Amino acid sequence: MTIEFSKQLTATETPIPGVVLFELPVHGDNRGWFKENWQREKMLALGLPDFKPVQNNVSFNEKAGTTRGIHAEPWDKFISVASGKIFGAWVDLRQGPTFGNVFTATLDASQAIFIPRGVGNAFQTLEDNTAYTYLVNDHWSADAQGQYTFLNLADETTAIQWPIPLSSAELSDKDRVHPHLSQVVPMPPRMTLVLGANGQLGQALRDEYKDDSYVEFAGRADFDLNSKEAFNSRSWKNYDTIINAAAYTAVDTAESADGRRAAWQTNVSAVARLARLAVEHDLTLVHISSDYVFDGTQDMHSEDEEFSPLGVYGQTKAAGDAIVSVVPKHYIVRASWVIGEGNNFVRTMAKLAAAGVKPAVVNDQTGRLTFAANIAESIRHLLKSGAEYGTYNLSCDDATQSWADIAADVFELTGGARADVSGITTSEYFHGKEAAPRPLNSTLDLSKIRRTGFPTTSASTLLPQHINTVK
């Protein structure tokens, strides 16, 4: 076997999404050769996913013409030749628009290829005593074979041109009888689990993903974040994303002894268990943050502002954000003044307007509304677009308003008069009441999420639509 020495490390995309062919630098002399077969740092820089291999396997083939496949396995693989030469064929057997796409290549020890879960592998040895090695990111077991998807090596649709005809090749009896492409059931994607699916954001996520059968919704009765046993209730290798829409949000009650414990339990302890789970199983964790992680002294809050929470609720949300931030694959969506299905400020103001009540509403807290449906849309966008992991602010993009301004908008939109709403300061409103401190300015900088291509929306557009749904 002749190997080209001292090539540059390069990566080439293929017609199958996620399949990447690598040219490897091999260094040799009269004694033999050496190569860095898998080099995480360099290869990540070239686009290799950080797929976290846990097992290394070697396949030795005594004779040229030995042919194995086509097998799509429920894990990712990084494959390279240790000795000899192979012809490789890969077919996309995942559910989706690229189902049936084919890529072939001849590989020697100076090449390697990354194969994502659900892409069918097949190899034909072109020399005697050929061995290839592969890293996988799940432990092999006999049970896992039940999750394989197979394709016949002689399938007419993919029409792979084998260098050694299959009639002359060494095949297993099982590989001879695998189904043809028209009979293959595509490998489904891994699941997304939405926790807190009965809250106002959970309801919005149900609407956003109503046509996606691979999104599972769990309310507290289905998955209690405060129950350690719940975390052992699923086979997590079948999931790739968790969206945590659950939270303790009783801002004022959190200041009490019982409320403080409950807030820390749900917003911190349970989030720590979720983060540990995400790290152990290489899951993407989506978490919802709040403007209450800031003290409201800045004119505009950016994602990299240091935490400065005023009350217990804000403290627990900041602690949860800090925990989630260490998960390698995470999105934190930070929202302000969330409005969704169920009881909320807009619904309350609409009821007061209908009843002829003239309320005094706080006028020294300023910010912008965020609609739960918009949060759900942003989560889907971040996951689908492959945006850089991290924290993203989200709200409507109007000029900053006070709660009194928004109340006046609601009155006007429901047939009342703006003048029916009067202003009052926060200290006046809560005088003599047990209440948590509030940030006086909750305006969030939206430039980061806009750079991902997500279109922010104005409350002047969304508020009338929302009011129409609650009349």
pLDDT of residue 341: 86
Percent helix, strand, coil in the chain, to 5, is 30, 25, 45
Query: Got the DSSP string for 161-184?
Result: --SS-GGGSB--HHHHTPPPGGG-
In the predicted model, what is the mean pLDDT of residues 438-453?
Answer: 97
pLDDT tens digits, residue range 294-342? 999 999 999 999 999 999 999 999 999 999 999 999 999 999 999 998 8
Q: What is the pLDDT of residue 235?
A: 87
Determine contact, residues 437/310, Cβ cutoff 8 Å.
yes
| Residues annotated as catalytic (active site), given as ranges | 71, 134
Indicate the helix (H) or strand (E) that contains 91.
strand 86-92
The enclosing H or E element of 348 equals helix 345-355
| Paired strand residues for 136 | 55, 77
Backbone φ and ψ of 154, nearest 5°: -100, 20
What does the pLDDT look like over 14-55, one tens digit per residue? 999 999 999 999 988 878 889 999 999 999 999 999 999 999
**pLDDT at position 432:** 83
φ/ψ of residue 87, rounded to 5: -105, 125
Structure-model confidence comparison of residues 145 and 308, the more confident one? 308
- Tens digit of each residue's pLDDT (9 = 90 or more) over 390-420: 999 999 999 999 999 999 999 999 988 999 9
Distance (Å, rounded) from C-alpha 470 to C-alpha 453?
30
Which residue type does 450 have? R
Q: Which residues of 101-115 are buried (b: 16+ CB within 10 A; e: fewer)?
A: bbbbeebbbbbbbbb
pLDDT for 1 beyond 70: no
CA distance 457 to 37: 48
The answer to whether residues 396 and 370 touch, using CB atoms and an 8 Å cutoff, is yes
> Given a cut of 70, is residue 291 above it in pLDDT?
yes
For residues 3 and 156, give the distance between their C-alpha atoms in angstroms, rounded to a whole number. 33
* Averaged pLDDT, 120-143: 91
> Do strands 330-335 and 338-339 pair parallel, antiparallel, or not at all (unpaired)?
unpaired
Question: If you average pLDDT over every residue of the chain, what do you get?
Answer: 94
Tokens 């990540």 correspond to what residue? 44
Percent of the chain surpassing pLDDT 90: 86
- DSSP secondary-structure letter at 238? G
CATH number for region 10-183? 2.60.120.10
Strand 360-362, strand 422-424: pairing: parallel
Cite the beta strand spans of 62-110 per DSSP E.
67-72, 77-83, 86-92, 102-107
> pLDDT value at position 4?
77
Tell me the residue length of the chain. 471
Q: In this model, does residue 279 exceed pLDDT 70? A: yes
Q: Which residue has the tokens 């992991």?
A: 389
Neighbouring residues of 253: CB distance < 8 A, sequence distance ≥ 6? 259, 262
What pLDDT sits at residue 32? 86
111 close to 22: Cβ distance less than 8 angstroms = yes
Element (H, E) at 352: helix 345-355
How is 274-323 classified by DSSP, letter by letter?
HHHHHHHHT-EEEEEEEGGGS-S-SSSB-TTSPP---SHHHHHHHHHHHH
Beta bridge partners of 215: 192
Residue 471 confidence (pLDDT): 59
CA distance 279 to 322: 15
**Domain boundary assignment for the chain:** 10-183, 191-470
pLDDT at position 145 is 67
Return the CATH number of the domain spanning residue range 191-470: 3.40.50.720
* Alpha carbon distances (Å) from 251 to 189, 215, 265, 313, 401: 38, 30, 14, 6, 21
Confidence at residue 141, expressed as pLDDT on a 0 to 100 scale: 76
> What is the torsional sign of CA 196, 200, 205, 210?
positive
